[in-house]
Amino acid sequence: MFCGQRKAIVDPGPKSAIPNLLSALAELNMSPDEIDYIILTHIHIDHAGGAGTALRDMPRAKVLAHGQAVRHLVDPTKLWEASLKTLGDLALQYGSIEPVPEDRVAVATDLMTIDLGRGLVLEVHLTPGHASHHLSLFDRENSILIAGEAAGVCVNGVIRLATPPPFRLDETLSSIDRLISLEPKTLCYGHFGCYGNAVERLRLARSKLLRWYETVGSAAGQGRTAEEILVLLKEKDRDLDYLDSLGQDAYRREHDLLINSINGLGQSARGDA
């Protein structure tokens, strides 16, 4: 949430999260009709599935998203089908995707600035990789980077890559390099939280990506399954020990997302080979 004279919400979440979002606004003594923008880092269901639903309560708000994403917001049929296919029951828990009316969505272009007033300006940086339609936001004045999932996610303080198919290594590395060049002080993840030492975190995500890509690529080339590769990755990257401390539901979710990431890296490595 960014508040200048105008107010913007970044990634409202899936439909199931919108009641919580509205309660959080109420706790801030803010009315939903004060919201001017809903900005989407990308349109995966967990980030953007609730945008159409949220708009019902936010009569002034306009949705800003990557040019490739707009048609899927207006007609979310394919997005919903892809979510069901990739996430199964989890997509049902997130809830269906209501369309965004065409006249309430605008394209966020590269290097566009969103002026919220009172000196608060968000710069748009297109950062394909996690998704081809991914963008990041940079508040230069306060040196805060909203990275969505361009530099992985942070679970229990640990960086975990998010590289689902279709994944492109070159694009992702370029995107991370671009974010490093902004020299942000604070890095906010789509999942979960904001941290200092932003550049160090971006560099760590970059080096981890190269290490995982090599491990997954060579193991996939030997015909290992994604489950076998996860065991191998866990031996090589002790950060993945966080999996051992998770409860059953959280473990299942992380496990499935990791398998998805391994599939993305494996397919990408086979394509490069």
160 binds Zn ion (CB under 5 A): no
Looking at this protein, which amino acid is placed at residue 224? R
Site for Zn ion in 137-156 (CB under 5 A): 149
Please say which residue, 36 or 149, places its beta carbon nearer to Zn ion: 149
Closest residue by Cα to residue 163 from 111, 233, 75, 238: 233
Least Cβ distance, residue 131 to Zn ion (angstroms): 6
Least Cβ distance, residue 185 to Zn ion (angstroms): 24
Measured CA to CA in angstroms, residue 146 lies from 16, 22, 135, 155, 158 at distances of: 22, 21, 9, 16, 17
The widest CA-to-CA distance across the chain, in whole angstroms, is 57
**Which stretches of 67-132 are assigned E, i.e. beta strand?**
105-107, 113-117, 120-126
Report how far residue 78's alpha carbon sits from residue 224's, in angstroms, rounded to the nearest whole number: 31
Least Cβ distance, residue 29 to Zn ion (angstroms): 31
Closest residue by Cα to residue 223 from 264, 185, 156, 270: 270
Please say which residue, 7 or 15, places its beta carbon nearer to Zn ion: 15
Least Cβ distance, residue 103 to Zn ion (angstroms): 26
Please say which residue, 120 or 150, places its beta carbon nearer to Zn ion: 150
Least Cβ distance, residue 221 to Zn ion (angstroms): 27
Site for Zn ion in 24-63 (CB under 5 A): 44
Number of residues that bind Zn ion (CB under 5 A): 2
Please say which residue, 40 or 116, places its beta carbon nearer to Zn ion: 40
11 binds Zn ion (CB under 5 A): no
Residue of closest CB approach to Zn ion:
44
Measured CA to CA in angstroms, residue 192 lies from 54, 78, 159, 186, 241 at distances of: 21, 27, 10, 13, 18
How deeply is 156 buried, as exposed, middle or buried, from its count of CB atoms within 10 A (0-12, 13-18, 19+)?
A: middle
Binding mask 212-251 for Zn ion (x = CB under 5 A): ----------------------------------------
Please say which residue, 25 or 169, places its beta carbon nearer to Zn ion: 169
Chain residues in the site for Zn ion (CB under 5 A): 44, 149
